[in-house]
Structure 1
Amino acid sequence: MEQMNLVATSTFGLERVLADELQDLGYKDLEIENGKVNFKGDVYDICRTNLWLRTADRVKITVGEFEATSFEELFDKTYDLPWEDYIPADAHFPVEGKSVKSTLYSVPDCQKIVKKAVVEKLKTKYKTDWFEEEGPSFVIEVALLKDTASLTIDTTGAGLHKRGYRQNFKGAPLKETLAAGLVKLAKYKAETPLVDPFCGLGTIPIEAALIGKNLAPGLFRDFTFEDWPFVSMETFDRAREEADDLAEPDRSLSIIGTDIDEEVVKMARDNARQFGLEDDIHFQQKPLYRFGTKKKYGKIICNPPYGHRLEEEKQVKKLYKEMAKMFSDLETWSIYVLTPEKNFEKIFGKKAAKRRKLYNGRIEVHYYQYF
């Protein structure tokens, strides 16, 4: 299959980081939009980007994009797209949807119209009136934004944040993709000591270790495209071989993760073990007041607890003041803190060199960077 229009989606605020990742992988002529980066690639690039992208949520094929202000227009223009180039006769092709500030605001109706148009188009290709849909999955999305409809097919399956190393947890841990974004924004290098004093399940230290050793985050998981007839196992194997060749598993790292919860620290160690990183990250049960380091230079990257109730907010603000006290001697270290607290600088007692708005799920957060 020739070059396709591909799109890598991301959380808001990480688009530039994602574009830098794509550039580092050799992709050019990138188009950055809110929550996504458009680029061109072939079947091999679908395999490669799913394996390598650390801050992307998904990689999709853009089948078409057009203006649509009526259901008739949505049907006709969807029908005109080359669905037969991608979807085989036995495919399972559900339609998902979303609509923002568009005339066609009813998402279920838009989904039905797109499904009908794709079915009618495929009928002409496969000369049949019925599709069993028992084969490989091709999830179609119709996304309407200000009357512009984007029709895509998901190549990924489970979101790219699901690396395969993290255990289920009752809390709301930091997504792997956002953690990787924090590490990327901190411009972490393998030779730099890194500490996360609120490591939780170890997501930030593990993502840093994957970056430090140049390990592709998608190496140990499955993808939807693996079952597609036009993606050969040989092509996917070639992408995996490239990832194996570029990995630097023997590179020495200095990464520490500490947390006050001993059970969570044990889970963090188990998570690191899934990627063979148990000897590269030193996890330890330790409260913040015992924090200390003899290293002259390094980076602290952390996501302290959030306070959602009034009493919790008081405790969190007390924690920020304790952080300021514990980090006060680290004048040669860079400190990076992710928090929803808009008055963090005032509580912390120091103005950040840089501040970036991000989203942790649906929570608006700020990344305070002290160089």
Structure 2
Amino acid sequence: MTNYQLVATVASGIEAVTGNELKEMGYQVEVENGKVFFQGSTADIIKTNLWLRTGDRIKIVYGSFPAKTFDDLYEKTKALPWEDLLPMDAAFPVSGKSHKSTLYSVPDCQSIVKKAIVDRLSSFYHRRARLPETGATYPIEVAILKDQVSITVDTSGYSLFKRGYRTEKGGAPIKENMAAAMVLLTNWSPDKPFYDPTCGSGTIPIEAALIGLNIAPGLERDFAAEDWSIFEADEWDKHRNEAKLAADFSVELDIMGSDIDTRMIEIAKRNAAKAGVEDFISFKQLQLSDFQTDKEYGVIVSNPPYGERLENEEYVENLYRQMGDTYRSLDTWSKYILTSDLDFENFYGQKATKKRKLYNGRLRTDYFQFWGKRPPRKPREE
């Protein structure tokens, strides 16, 4: 069984969350900025693509070496055993990036890597004519940082945040993997109430339901590597079927999403239905300040308007004040609110227990955390 050096690419700020996900799957990990490295077989490539909630892509690190000249880049790329991964008819587009490196021309680096792979495969497959590139696609990237080259092959294709359930969205939706990270960074467990007061198209409650029901987030989408020759014919189907059986629909969830916009509530309901979790989430059109509950020890997660999403500054400041006024009495509830507004605590009227820096796309945000009281310990049985 071949073992590959793999890397999960991830948004800045949630590397540790992705690392913990992979650890819980049984992998030893190395965490860097925007990346989590681990080892795995073809089965692990499938498993992590299907199950990773917070990652962006799963890539094979096929080569890593220093290079300051185009000759070095060509020879060291050509020396890699490309025939072990790419069949003769493989299509292999090469993308690239370079930062603080001697080889700064990205188009030239892409061309040289492409030529090196073509020459290696042409020699191995005894081809004088041009390689056909009519088969499965193997997206290759050459990335150079401080003269250190990393050549990766993308197994995911389009980003893992594209689960396939969000057919409609609002004006500034949060990505599904960021929404999952927001849930995983809370103290929520499926036996607690969960509430998103600014749910928009429903992404955060839907991700909570997928977590609570143990539904693999990649179950309903396809991946670049599905047609690769390194996998056995039924390998992807086998793991998909195992993932389907792992879902537990007997779990009782108390998840609610609300929004002031009736149209968004209808969109959220349709997205939840597409995700297969519509029976586990209650969506309601509701003013934020009208929320009332007798429940205890719940979790509130919110991604309100901010930054580039700021439609009206006065409206948003009032919204933050409403949050503080409405939630302050819920002292057993924990509240988690994502915003780029550094004055948020002033409007909310309370200092956060903890703040965590996250990036929503390229926008720097803080995840303000207000921890509720812990439930009393159950007495020990004699």
Q: TM-score, structure 1 length as denominator?
A: 0.96
Are 1:74 and 2:64 an aligned pair? Answer: no
The equivalent of 1:196 in structure 2 is 196
The equivalent of 1:6 in structure 2 is 6
Read off the aligned partner of 1:10 and give its amino acid letter.
Answer: V
The equivalent of 1:219 in structure 2 is 219
The equivalent of 1:273 in structure 2 is 273
Q: Which moved more, 1:88-97 or 1:307-316?
A: 307-316
| 1:278-289 pair list within 5 angstroms | 278-289=278-289
Q: Residue 353 of structure 2 contacts residue 370 of structure 2 at CA under 8 Å; is this kept in 1?
A: yes
The equivalent of 2:233 in structure 1 is 233
Identity %: 52
| 1:310-321 pair list within 5 angstroms | 312-321=312-321
| 1:63-142 pair list within 5 angstroms | 63-129=62-128, 130-142=130-142
User: What is the aligned residue count?
Assistant: 370
The equivalent of 1:144 in structure 2 is 144
- 1:44–1:361 CA distance, 2 compared to 1 (3 A): same
1:127 Cα deviation from its structure 2 partner: 1.1
Q: Residue 188 of structure 1 contacts residue 208 of structure 1 at CA under 8 Å; is this kept in 2?
A: no
1:309 Cα deviation from its structure 2 partner: 8.5
CA distance in 1, matches of 2:96, 2:323: 43
Q: Residue 307 of structure 2 contacts residue 340 of structure 2 at CA under 8 Å; is this kept in 1?
A: no
CA distance in 1, matches of 2:126, 2:349: 71
- The alignment's C-alpha RMSD in Å is 1.5
Q: Which moved more, 1:171-180 or 1:245-254?
A: 245-254
CA distance in 1, matches of 2:310, 2:199: 24
Q: Residue 357 of structure 1 contacts residue 366 of structure 1 at CA under 8 Å; is this kept in 2?
A: yes
Q: Residue 201 of structure 1 contacts residue 271 of structure 1 at CA under 8 Å; is this kept in 2?
A: yes
The equivalent of 1:293 in structure 2 is 293
Gapped runs of 5+ residues in structure 1? none
SS of 2:160's equivalent? coil
CA distance in 2, matches of 1:107, 1:292: 56
Q: Residue 307 of structure 1 contacts residue 313 of structure 1 at CA under 8 Å; is this kept in 2?
A: no
For residues 227-271 of structure 1, the C-alpha deviation after alignment (integer angstroms, 9 at most, x for no partner) is 112212322222123312321112110000000111111010011
Read off the aligned partner of 1:37 and give its amino acid letter.
Answer: V
Q: Residue 65 of structure 2 contacts residue 149 of structure 2 at CA under 8 Å; is this kept in 1?
A: yes
Q: TM-score, structure 2 length as denominator?
A: 0.94
SS of 2:165's equivalent? coil
Q: Residue 168 of structure 2 contacts residue 271 of structure 2 at CA under 8 Å; is this kept in 1?
A: no
Are 1:329 and 2:324 an aligned pair? Answer: no
1:134 Cα deviation from its structure 2 partner: 1.2
Read off the aligned partner of 1:207 and give its amino acid letter.
Answer: E
Q: Residue 307 of structure 1 contacts residue 316 of structure 1 at CA under 8 Å; is this kept in 2?
A: no
For residues 273-297 of structure 1, the C-alpha deviation after alignment (integer angstroms, 9 at most, x for no partner) is 0122111000011111212222122
Read off the aligned partner of 1:47 and give its amino acid letter.
Answer: I
Are 1:51 and 2:50 an aligned pair? Answer: yes
Q: Which moved more, 1:201-210 or 1:323-332?
A: 323-332
For residues 295-339 of structure 1, the C-alpha deviation after alignment (integer angstroms, 9 at most, x for no partner) is 122000010012449872332122111111111111110000011
- 1:173–1:309 CA distance, 2 compared to 1 (3 A): closer
- 1:220–1:82 CA distance, 2 compared to 1 (3 A): same
CA distance in 1, matches of 2:313, 2:97: 34
CA distance in 1, matches of 2:299, 2:140: 42
- 1:100–1:296 CA distance, 2 compared to 1 (3 A): same
The equivalent of 1:360 in structure 2 is 360
CA distance in 2, matches of 1:260, 1:219: 31
